[in-house]
Structure 1
Amino acid sequence: MIIVRNLTKTLTDGQTVLSKVSFQVDKGEFVVLIGASGSGKSTLLSCLALQQRWTEGQLIVDGTELSDKKWGDKLKLRKEWAFLEERPALHPKKNALKNVFSGRFYQVPIWRKLTGTMSTSEHILAMDYLERVGLLDKAKMLPADKLSGGEQQRVAIARALAQGAKVILADEPTKGLDPESATKVLQDLRALCKDQNMIVVAAMQNLEMAERNASRIWGLAGGRLVLDIPARKLTQQEKHAIF
């Protein structure tokens, strides 16, 4: 369970990017955060991932308050949470399989981290995660040369699974993808919530896809959470509040 209370982010020039954002997310939920460009979506995800400091507020995970100032708390989240950027941060010189294996960074001995070698069991495990996102046949392909944008996002999801992530924060995971690829990425994320009881929070601008694939929709406008409902088709009034 994730609880956020009155999360506020104010810049040095006095501009408020996030204002008293509060919510609770339970295991198994696929939340899509909808908002216009500049609404604060990416900043909120970055704060949740402890990549940015906030000005006020609390982040409570499974009953324990975490701080963006404590090294131990950041290490805990890096082990158990995965942050998927708009453009997947895959190693360009490693194939899809080795990129997935890199998610095991905290579980393998130091010498394997340095050499990048995999045991037979680790190789099979990485292949299994690729198979879960439908990319077993792409295992030997390099990201930039052979994988589409949607396939790169799915490799990043497989890497998060290999990491053992309990929470995935995805910033615009479908931006720039064709409709078919975007739908596949969202279906993969929703399946993780249903099958593995994970929490996924994805920031997007595409409202129609959010309505079809999410289990819950948040609307963010001007740094404030203006909508928090079970996923369904939004009314014109609700759309107006967000956009």
Structure 2
Amino acid sequence: MIKVSHLKKSVDGNKKQVLRDINTEFAQGELIGIVGPSGSGKSMLLRCLALREPWDSGDYIWNEDKLIQGGGKGTYKLRSRFAYLEQNPSLYPERTALKNVLIGQVGQVSAIRRFTGMVRSDDYMGAMDELEKFGLLDKAHVKAGKLSGGEKQRVAICRALVHGAKFIAADEPTMGLDPKSAERVMETLGQLCKTQKTTIVTALPIELAEKYCTRIWGIHSGELKLDIVGRRLTSGEKRLIDLA
């Protein structure tokens, strides 16, 4: 069980509160969609859950591991479990999909490994296995700059898994994609939750959250207003978070 207690987050020297006393619990293997208007705090919540931002206050517990107590930064030794996927994944455009999976996220690998791409054979096979699972085996040796938006998103997911992620926070992973590509990305996320018990929290348009997610969080003005399991939102619930 993953538990978030009294998460608060401010920016601009604590002048602007972005997240206001967020409290929630969720289990491994859930696919949770976050919905809410622009500026409501969705992206910051994802970054905090993925240990990409220090918390002003609050506790973060993953099973028996206390990641954050009373605010601050997450425990560094556990950070590899957490991946944060931006709207436009940071890939090396001149390197292949396979190399991008192997050498990790931009700015997070050593200079030698980044530029030589040196890897162990078991790393190589693990990366190829992930690419195959998500229909990208034929793109393994294609440069990332030539991939479609949906393919780049799936490469970023493969990269996170190869590097040990058990929790993925994805910030609007379908933005700018055509309907078919968006559907493929959402199916990929759902498959991860079901088969590998990966926990995924993602900001989405409400129609995709209702179609694919097992749970929906509604956020407005930095507050978690809704936590709905297994159904669509009512008209009243949509109005509550200004999405009606």
TM-score (norm 2): 0.90
**8 Å Cα contact 1:169/1:201 also seen in 2:** yes
Question: Which residue in the other structure is 1:115 paired with?
Answer: 116
User: How far is 1:63 from its partner?
Assistant: 2.5
**8 Å Cα contact 1:132/1:158 also seen in 2:** no
- Name the SS for the 2:45 alignment partner: helix
Alpha-carbon distance in 1 for matches of 2:54, 2:148:
34
**Cα RMSD after superposing both structures:** 2.2
The gaps in structure 2 that reach 5 residues or longer are none
**8 Å Cα contact 1:104/1:162 also seen in 2:** no
Mapped pair 1:176 → 2:176: yes
Alpha-carbon distance in 2 for matches of 1:143, 1:35:
31
Alpha-carbon distance in 2 for matches of 1:7, 1:76:
19
**Equivalent residue letter for 2:20:** S
Question: Which residue in the other structure is 1:90 paired with?
Answer: 91
User: How far is 1:55 from its partner?
Assistant: 1.8
**Equivalent residue letter for 1:167:** F
**Equivalent residue letter for 2:33:** V
Identity, in percent, stands at: 46
Alpha-carbon distance in 1 for matches of 2:115, 2:176:
34
Structure 2 CA distance for partners of 1:19 and 1:134, relative to 1, 3 Å = same
**8 Å Cα contact 1:5/1:59 also seen in 2:** yes
Mapped pair 1:222 → 2:221: yes
Alpha-carbon distance in 1 for matches of 2:195, 2:189:
10
Structure 2 CA distance for partners of 1:85 and 1:113, relative to 1, 3 Å = same
TM-score (norm 1): 0.90
Alignment of 1:1-243 (within 5 A): 1-11=1-11, 12=13, 14-67=15-68, 69=72, 73-77=75-79, 79-103=80-104, 115-144=116-145, 146-204=146-204, 206-243=205-242
> Deviations 1:133-178 (Å, cap 9, x if unpaired)?
111111111122x201111000001111111211111111111111
User: How far is 1:236 from its partner?
Assistant: 0.5
User: How far is 1:118 from its partner?
Assistant: 2.9
The gaps in structure 1 that reach 5 residues or longer are none
**8 Å Cα contact 1:81/1:165 also seen in 2:** yes
